[in-house]
Amino acid sequence: MVDLKVNLNGLEFKNPVLTASGTFGYGEEFTDFFDLSRIGGIIVKGTTLRSREGNPYPRMAETASGMLNAVGLQNKGVKYFAESIYPRIKCFDTNVLVNISGSTVEEYAETAEVIQLLDKIPGIELNISCPNVKQGGMSFGITASGAEKVVSAVRKVYKKHLMVKLSPNVTNIAEIAKAVEFAGADSISLINTILGMAIDAERRRPLLSTVTGGLSGACIKPVALRMVWQTAKAVKIPVVGLGGISSATDAIEFLLAGASAIQVGTANFIDPAIAPKIVDGIVAYCERQGFKSVVELTDALIIDERQTDCRN
Amino acid sequence: MQEVTSFILDLELVENRSIHAQYVLMKFHDNKPLPLMKPGQFAQVRIDGSPTTYLRRPISINFIDTLNNEIWLLVQKIGDGTKTLAKTPVGTKVNMILPLGNSFSMPKPNEFVLLIGGGVGVAPLLLLGKQLHDQQIPVKFLLGARSSSDLLELDEFSKYGMVYTTTEDGSAGEKGYVTQHSVLNSCVFDRIYTCGPKPMMQAVANYAKLRGIACEVSLENLMACGIGACLCCVEDTREGHVCACTDGPVFNTNVLKW
């Protein structure tokens, strides 16, 4: 029997498999396909202080082994979430975290305060990395000082688990991660989408209404893996890895690179029942490799003397 | 637990009929009874063996053959994904999520209905026509295409109602667009259902609006998930951005900003 439990700085998850915000709705969309109690947690759709209509259609473009999106944080606001959605999902037998975003530091803090009042929400994921909004979002997450400012402000008012989701669209991820840790984050999740673009050559026009959008899916996995590895070495708080995870093997690679848990994102679109299959695959791997608990996988990467990273 | 309405199934391709250079009619079978599916709903079909196809493809349910426990999909070969799907050999199991989306609403008693389709957009109207026919509602189909060879499944449609056609080149039926067909002048309709190219649907919606006729359209916005999770396929309606996959694909034209 493999022990699958992971503890992220005081918050316990029954297993390390979570679903990523923006790819799993509010969980309800997936109850036809599997029992949500089988996974460690759900991070629900990005929520903002006020209702947002998001960006105009078209918001999506398929790419080689991935997709671009430009949804732009469409949601009905935190009040609507607390009053209308929370009562429907609070009974889920798994950790439900809310991803929150804002245009200003004050908006982030105010939104976090509303979520704090919801008993069954043990934590938030602070999105300082959304590439699809004009104000806020990623602009906070691309400088160490911006990241520190918003995380500190939320930390002051929010007492439960504070996970901070980082953007890959930066030169030095370790520096941002350290700033977020210093500001009081309980854990770090990464990566959000990579800024990208798609063009219809025949029509000579961009495919997205916003011209650029966020790239996700299998194609971003190597970038994500590298950034998780760099981040895990730079901070002491737990790291939650995501970016292109589509199988148990992918998930295990992130754990080996230093992640304590993982999130499944775009793969939920291709197989809505993928998340529990990844849990099963991790168990099978641990049994085959002789690991008694999944925490032993974290940072169990073997790098021999001849393999040196020229960047360190 | 809420009642399960959508399923992920591996269905066996039992017939793959080329009905035109651009279209194939694919029939899938399952040993277990297929779930209940309504006209207007769609399947999210996974396509294997196409390296450039990452996401599933949403495809309208064309027909349910209850006798043989088959689901029919009418597929237009547009890009790599649908071209690869169209080449699937008989006997292959194809993975799909179904049924998804809402459905056409049924007419009120004594309403006269017209089903207007264009190109591959005729697909959901066959199942709708059969359902109306089964309920003893008289059905008239008005099907438009570029030329006679683009008129699809006419033999099937004619089983469930009167079929009127238009072609742009005049090679079959009346020459012109569906909105120019004489049946619109000779009959009075209370409700129109339409699916096809967006300009055609907009012309039909406009025709219906001017005459106070109830009109439902089936949209085919670009989708990623098909289950209301990604919010990519939104339609800008009078109620804001709503998902074409879960709030649609069928919309009353009153709520659209057309």
Domain ranges of chain A: 6-297
Q: Which residues contact B176 (CB under 8 A, 6 or more apart)?
A: B166, B168, B170
Q: Which of B53, B232, B246 sits opposite A71 (nearest CB)?
A: B232
Instruction: Test B230 with A23 for CB contact under 8 angstroms.
Output: yes
Average per-residue pLDDT for chain B = 95
Taking a contact as any Cβ pair under 8 Å apart, which residues of chain B between 209 and 248 contact chain A? 221-236, 240-241, 246
Does domain B219-258 fall into CATH 2.10.240.10? yes
The tens digit of pLDDT for each residue in B85-122 reads 999 999 999 999 999 999 999 999 889 999 999 999 99
User: Would you identify the CATH topology of the domain B104-217?
Assistant: Rossmann fold (3.40.50)
- Is some CB atom of chain A closer than 8 A to the CB atom of B52? yes
- CA dist B91 and B71 (Å) reads 15
- Best of B45, B46, B54 to disrupt the A interface (most A CBs within 10 Å) is B54
Collapsing DSSP to helix, strand or coil, B70 comes out as strand
Q: Which residues contact A180 (CB under 8 A, 6 or more apart)?
A: A147, A148, A151, A164, A166, A188, A235
Q: Are A269 and A217 in contact (CB under 8 A)?
A: no
Q: What is the per-residue DSSP string for A96-124?
A: EEEEE--SSHHHHHHHHHHHHT-TT--EE
Per CATH, B104-217 and B219-258 having the same topology is answered no
Q: Nearest CA to B203 among B228, B170, B179, B235?
A: B179
Residue B89's CB: how many other CB atoms inside 10 A? 7
* Burial track A260-282 (b if 16+ CB lie within 10 A, e otherwise): bbbbbbbbbbbbbebbbbbbebb
Contacts of A54 in chain B (CB under 8 A): 231, 234, 241
Q: What is the per-residue DSSP string for B235-248?
A: EEETTEEEETTTT-
E strand map for A146-237: 161-165, 187-190, 194-197, 199-200, 205-206, 212-216
The tens digit of pLDDT for each residue in B159-217 reads 999 999 999 999 999 999 999 999 998 989 999 999 999 999 999 999 999 999 999 99
The tens digit of pLDDT for each residue in A78-102 reads 999 999 999 999 999 999 999 999 9
Contacts of B55 in chain A (CB under 8 A): 62, 67, 269-270
Residue B238's CB: how many other CB atoms inside 10 A? 9
Taking a contact as any Cβ pair under 8 Å apart, which residues of chain A between 188 and 247 contact chain B? 217-218
- Please report the pLDDT score of residue A312 as a whole number: 56
Those residues of chain A that have pLDDT short of 50 are none
Q: Which listed residue (A91, A130, A219, A286) is catalytic?
A: A130
| Pairs of CB atoms within 8 A across A/B | 96
- Please report the pLDDT score of residue A311 as a whole number: 63
The tens digit of pLDDT for each residue in B125-154 reads 999 999 999 999 999 999 999 999 999 999
- CATH homologous superfamily of B7-100: Translation factors (2.40.30.10)
Q: Which of B5, B46, B229 sits opposite A25 (nearest CB)?
A: B229
- Please report the pLDDT score of residue B3 as a whole number: 64
Q: What are the residue boundaries of the structural domains of chain B, listed by start?
A: 7-100, 104-217, 219-258
Q: Which CATH architecture has domain A6-297?
A: Alpha-Beta Barrel (3.20)
Q: Is A286 part of the annotated catalytic residue set?
A: no
Minimum Cα–Cα distance from A59: chain B residue: B232
The tens digit of pLDDT for each residue in A184-203 reads 999 999 999 999 999 999 99
Instruction: Test A29 with B228 for CB contact under 8 angstroms.
Output: yes
